[in-house]
Amino acid sequence: MKRYTSILRMSRLYAPTLKEDPSDADIVSAKLLTRAGMIRKEASGLFTFMPLGMRVLHKIQDIVREEMDSHGGQEILMPFVQSADLWRQSGRWGVYGDEMLRLNDRHDNEFCLGPTHEEVVTDLVKNELRSYKDCPKNLYQIQLKFRDERRPRFGLLRSREFVMKDAYSFDVSEEGLDVSYAQMRDAYINMFSRMGLNYRIVAADSGEIGGSGSEEFMVLAEAGESDLVYCSCGYASDVEIASASPLPTEYQVDEMSKVATPGVHTIAELAEFLSIPESSCVKAFSGKDADGQIWVLFVPGHYEVNELKASRVAKGFEPLTDEEMVNAGLVKGSMGPVGLPVGVKVAADESLRSIARWVVGANEDGFHYVGAKQAEDFTVDAWADLCVTQPGEACPCCGKPLESARGIEVGQIFKLGTKYSAAMEAKFMDEDGVEKPFVMGCYGVGVSRTLAAAVEQCNDEYGIVWPAAIAPAHVCVIPLSTKPDEVTEAAEALAGQLAEAGLEVCIDDRNERAGVKFNDADLIGWPVQVTVGKRGLKEGTVEVKNRATGEKVSVALDQVQAAVEAVLA
C-alpha cells in the first residue's frame, strides 16, 4: 500500500497551483490536473508529469505491474524507436497511416516512433522461442508510445505521446491463447478494481484487425468517447454492438392507403401529421455496399440505424450522399419499400417482422403509405439487427431495462491469432514435428489515460477526489500557523507518527493563509486532510476531513491514525 516513505513537504514541492482554468484545457481532467500542478502541456498532445502527477503515475504503474507479474507476465523494455524493416515484414509500414511518426537516421535508414510493439516483440521471440515446450510466454512493458493523432485533445485522454502498458502472449494453440487471454482478463479486472474505478467490460468489434475476440475496459465518465449500455447483471456493451430489442407499435388499419403529406420529411413531422406515435412509423435509411449495390434499410421510427450493424448485412456499408440518392432514384424524406427503383435491396430490423402493416414513405415527395402490407405490397430481402441500442431496452442477458453511460477506454485485450507471427515467420516446432506460427494475444492499458480517467470519474467543484489507492499521498497534515510555534510542532510530530505507521504523508508547511492551504488540499485531492489548530490542540484534538464526503470530525491526537485509516478503508 505504501510506495513513498519520506514526508512530502509542500514548502519544497514543485506543484504550482492555479486559481483559474487554463484556457486551452478542454476537459475537466486537463483543467484540474493542470490547476493542481500535476501536469503541464508542452505542445499539442505533449505533456510533462510534475512531481505530484508522477507519484500518481507510479501508483498506477505499480498496480499494473503487480497484476501483470502475478498473472504470468514478464517485464521487458523494448526500443521506442523502431526500424522500418520490421514494419515492412508485417506489411504494416505502408498501411499504418499518418498516426505513425517516421524519421531517418544519419545514414538515411528509416525508423518510426513506436505507436505499438507487435512487430518488435514478434521479432524478439522469432529465433529464440523454438519449441512448443517454450510456450506459453507473456512479455510486457510499460513505456511511452507515440501516435500522431489527427486531433490531440482532452488532455491525457488523447495525447500524442502517452504511457502504455503493452503485453504480448505467445501460445502454440487457440486453446492456449484462450487461457492466456483469460489470465490477462483477470489481471485487468484486478487492476482497475484495485484502482477504485467504476468500469465495465464490453465486447469490442474486432472485425478490421482480423482477430477472433476482443474486449475493452471502459471507465464510466461523461467525458468518454464511447456510448455504452449496461445492466446490473454485469452485461455491458457499446451501443454500436449491443443487440437491440426495440418495440415498434403497430398502427392498426385494414388496407393500404396513400396519404398526401405535404412538407413532411422527418419521422417527427410524419408522426405529428398523422397524430400517431413515432414508434408506429417506419424510418428509412439509404446506403451502398462495397460492390456499389444500393440498399434501403428500415427501422422503427423511434430508432436510428447503426452503420456498423448495417455493414454486417451490406458489407462495407456507407450512407448515400444527397446526390447519390437522386442518381439512384430515391426520394429523401419519403423512402419506402413499396415501389422502390428496380435493383434496390431492402433490409429491415428484426423487430419489424411482427409488424404486418407499415406507415412509411411512398417514394414520392409529399406522400406516405399508411398500412403497406408485408409480403403483399412489398418484400424484405434481409432481416437483421440494425438499430442503435437505447437505454430502457431489455437486457439481452437477463431482461432488465438497460442503463446508459459514456465510457473511456482504458484498456483493451485482444486475441490476435497468427496475423503477425505468420507474416513475420515467427514459428515453433510442434509436438508432431511440424513448424507452426505462434498464436498471439496482445493486451494494452493506457496508463496515462487511466490517470486522467480517474480524475474524470472522481472530482467535484473543489477539485480532484483521488481514490486512495492511486492518490499522490494518503493524508495531508495542515498546520494552521505560519510561523514555528506549538501548532507547527504538533503537526510535524503527527506527520512523523502517521508516516511511521505506514501512511504516505504530506505536510503543508508553507507560509500561507489557512484558506490557501485548504483550497489547495481540496484541489490536489488528498483523500484525508488533518488540520491542526491552536484551539483544538488545547483540548488535545485535531480535525480529520474525508475529502470524498466532505465530512469533518474532531479526533483526539492519539486516535488520528485510526481515523485516517478508517477514511482510507
Task: Answer with the entry of ligand ATP, Mg ion, none that 158 interacts with (C-beta below 5 to 8 A by kind).
Answer: ligand ATP
Q: Shortest approach of ligand ATP to residue 163 CB, angstroms?
A: 8
Told to check if 481 binds Mg ion by CB under 5 A, we report no
Is 205 or 350 the residue whose CB approaches Mg ion more closely? 205
Nearer to Mg ion, 112 or 218 (CB): 218
- Residues making up the chain, counted from first to last: 569
Q: 3-state secondary structure string, 183-206?
A: HHHHHHHHHHHHCCCCEEEEECCC
> Of the listed pieces 311-319, 349-357, 406-414, 484-492, which binds ligand ATP according to CB under 6 A?
406-414
Q: Which is nearer to ligand ATP, 144 or 260 (CB)?
A: 144
The size of the interface with ligand ATP (CB under 6 A), counted in residues, is 15
Minimal CB distance residue for Mg ion: 412
C-alpha cell at 270: 410524419
Which of 294, 410, 454, 470 is the binder for ligand ATP (CB under 6 A)? Answer: 410
Please tell me whether residue 214 binds Mg ion under the rule CB under 5 A.
no
Rounded distance, CA 197 to CA 192, Å? 6
Asked whether position 149 contacts ligand ATP by CB under 6 A, the answer is yes
Q: Tell which one of 31, 35, 71, 158 touches ligand ATP (CB under 6 A).
A: 158
Find the shortest distance in angstroms from Cβ 414 to Mg ion: 8
- Please report whether residue 449 would count as binding ligand ATP according to CB under 6 A: yes
| Residue 411 touches which of ligand ATP, Mg ion, none (Cβ within 5-8 Å per kind) | ligand ATP
H-type alpha helices, 70-154: 84-90, 118-126
Number of helices and strands in the chain (H, E) = 14, 32
Which amino acid, 329? G
Burial 23-51 (b: 16+ CB within 10 A, else e): eebebbbbbbbbbbbbbebeeebebebbe
E strands present in 221-323: 226-230, 236-238, 257-260, 282-288, 294-300, 318-319
* 162 near ligand ATP, judged by CB under 6 A: yes
Binding of ligand ATP at residue 159 (CB under 6 A)? yes
> Using CB atoms, what's the residue nearest to ligand ATP?
446
Of the candidate residues 279, 286, 412, 421, the single one contacting Mg ion (CB under 5 A):
412
Q: Distance from CA of residue 303 to its chain's centroid?
A: 25
Stretch that binds ligand ATP, among 18-26, 174-182, 265-273, 408-416 (CB under 6 A): 408-416
Using omega within 30 degrees of 0 as the cis cutoff, is the peptide bond preceding 401 cis? no
Window 45 to 64, contacts with ligand ATP (CB under 6 A): none
- Taking alpha carbons only, the member of 157, 159, 86 closest to residue 117 is 86
Which position among 15, 52, 164, 405 is part of the footprint of ligand ATP (CB under 6 A)? Answer: 164
Q: How far apart are alpha carbons 115 and 552 in whole angstroms?
A: 47
By CB under 5 A, which span of 55-63, 273-281, 405-413, 488-496 interacts with Mg ion?
A: 405-413
Helix (H) or strand (E) segment spanning residue 341: none
Which range, of 126-134, 155-163, 287-295, 337-345, touches ligand ATP by CB under 6 A?
A: 155-163
Given the rule CB under 6 A, which of 63-71, 285-293, 308-316, 405-413 is the region that contacts ligand ATP?
405-413
**Least distance in angstroms from the C-beta of 512 to Mg ion:** 44
DSSP characters for 424-489? TT-EEE-TTS-EEE-EEEEEEEEHHHHHHHHHHHSEETTEE---GGGSS-SEEEEES-SSSSHHHH
Q: Of 174, 172, 81, whose CA–CA distance to 119 is shortest?
A: 81
Q: What is the largest CA-CA distance in the chain?
A: 93
Q: Which does 147 bind (CB under 5 to 8 A by kind): ligand ATP, Mg ion, none?
A: ligand ATP
Least Å distance, CB 94 to ligand ATP, is 19
Nearer to ligand ATP (CB atom), residue 31 or residue 158: 158
Using the minimum distance from each CB to ligand ATP, give the nearer residue, 71 or 147: 147
Angle at the Cα of 231 (from 228 to 232), degrees rounded to 5? 140
107: number of Cβ within 10 Å = 5
Binding site for Mg ion (CB under 5 A): 412
Chain positions contacting ligand ATP, by CB under 6 A: 116, 147, 149, 158-159, 162, 164, 409-412, 444, 446, 448-449
